[in-house]
Structure 1
Amino acid sequence: MTEQHSETEYAARVQGEEVPRKRVDAFLTAGPTTPPRGAGNCATSHDEPADTRQPAPALTANRLARAERQRRRWATQVVLIDELARRTCAERGLPAPPDVSPAAMLTVPEADVADLGSIIAAALAHSPAARALLTALEGEQHIPEEAVREYYARNRDRHLTPDALRRGVDPYGASAEPADFLTYGQVRDGIGRELRRAAGRVAFFDWLDGVRGGVEYAPGHEHPGDPSHPDHEHRH
């Protein structure tokens, strides 16, 4: 049976201000039917004990109910990150992002789910504010020249020329020639962008850890990985 909630109820409180439960309900209604699966913050439990005393229909109903509870908690996190990002953008004086539609879910790349976890990957796909904040954080990262050079030297396999790739050159083998590699000058800017992007994501994680710590959740809207509720799941 689907839970019925009053529109005056909240899913979470941020600095005493309520995030209405109806925002989560709207996202659940118009958003994805299941969370993207991947590393971290998945929304369905995978370690349920097999209870042979229950008939199969009861087991199925129990699993569906558990998955639905986790789906609500997962959706709460996506909506909450949008709310927190909006507040932070305003505090930083960033241009106000457009209002987000409950159905505004861009395609979530599988690589992002693997790298970021399903919650943050979905939040970035859903929330213009979260994307604006991530872009601002990336722009603030300073990557020393030494770090770029070290990356170039350490990842020789990523800098083979197209011809060397066609010939199957072993980038770490004794037969590899300097001409088989793109020069540092050719790839320097691209490496810098990649490292700034990675550092920006770390800064985003740190920001979220900081602002999410003081959030008060309504029952049934806890983080999917919160061990204080029986359906919790957290995996890497």
Structure 2
Amino acid sequence: MIAALVGETPITVETVMRRVRRLRQGPRGELLPADGTAEGRQLRRWVTQILVAEQVVADEAARRGIVPGGPPLELTPTARLELGSVMAAVLSGNPLAQALYRALTAHQNIPETEISQYFANNQYRYRGISYEQAAPGIRADLLGARRRRQFALWAEARCARATLLPGFEHPGDIRHPDHTHRH
């Protein structure tokens, strides 16, 4: 039985359930909602989203000839919020996703005018620090945010093309009866 289709690639119900079981057997498994509850079904839907995103990443990486490599990508709490829970989960533990992230966002840059404007608009953060001292950190922060936004938008658009079968819809889909997902 199929839970989702990413292009022509099926994600089976067994694959989803195997991932859920693996999560339940993990170090925080006792914190997860019980099977058969509305929250348990939401967990299954969230896991489906992860699997869809992983397949989208794998397909794009294969298309571009990208292989895993590079230093691990560390995600701050802010970065996780910017990416959303699904892409944060995929990026935090998937070297192929990290390599694709770097490839898709490598061309991003921050113009000097944007850095100086940020410095001018946030003087309270830089008391006693000159622009020359603050600029590298500002550049890194703005560049990181821009890269994460670009990747999140790319991933959201690609994942939205997947076909999710009944019972495996996005957790935020208001059409299913267990809808409890809120932002």
**TM-score for the superposition, normalised by structure 1:** 0.65
In structure 1, the partner of 2:117 is 150
The offset of 1:109, in angstroms, is 5.7
Secondary structure at the aligned position of 2:178 is classed as coil
After superposition, the Cα gap between the structure-2 partners of 1:92 and 1:210, relative to the gap in structure 1 and judged at 3 Å, is same
Q: How does 1:1-236 map to 2 (within 5 A)?
A: 9-31=1-23, 33=29, 65-96=37-68, 110-160=77-127, 180=128, 182-236=129-183
Q: CA deviation at 1:235?
A: 2.4
- Does the CA contact (< 8 Å) of 2:56 and 2:158 recur in 1? yes
Distance in 2 between residues matched to 1:67 and 1:189, nearest whole Å: 44
The offset of 1:193, in angstroms, is 1.5
For 1:144 and 1:110, locate their aligned partners in 2 and report how far apart those are by CA, in whole Å. Answer: 26
Bigger helix share = 2
Taking the aligned partners of 1:186 and 1:224, their CA distance within structure 2 comes to: 44
| Contact 2:52-2:162 within 8 A present in 1 as well | no
- Residues 138 and 190 of structure 1: is their aligned pair in 2 closer, same or farther, counting only changes over 3 Å? farther
Larger of the two Rg values belongs to structure: 1
Aligned CA RMSD, in angstroms, stands at 2.7
The 2-side partners of 1:76 and 1:109 are apart by 24
In 2 relative to 1, CA 110–70 (structure 1 residues): closer, same or farther, beyond 3 Å? same
Sort the Cα spacing of 1:89 and 1:145 in 2 relative to 1 into closer, same or farther, 3 A: same
> Partners in 2 of 1:115 and 1:211 — Cα distance?
17
2-side partners of 1:108 and 1:76: how far apart?
22
Q: Give deviations 1:62-110, integer Å, cap 9, x for gaps.
A: x96101100100111112111111111222232246xxxxxxxxx9864
In the alignment, the residues of structure 1 paired with residue 92 and residue 158 of structure 2 have an alpha-carbon distance, to the nearest angstrom, of 20
For residues 138 and 75 of structure 2, the distance between their equivalents in structure 1, rounded to whole angstroms, comes to 24
Identify if the C-alpha distance between structure 1 residues 108 and 198 changes in structure 2 by more than 3 Å, giving closer, same or farther: closer
Q: Unpaired runs of 5+ in structure 1?
A: 1-8, 36-43, 45-60, 98-106, 161-179
Report SS of the residue matched to 2:135: helix
Q: TM-score, normalised by structure 2?
A: 0.81
Work out whether residues 24 and 79 of structure 1, in 8 Å CA contact, stay in contact via their aligned partners in 2: yes
Give the 3 Å change call, closer, same or farther, for CA 186–110 of structure 1 in structure 2: closer
**SS of the counterpart of 1:19?**
strand
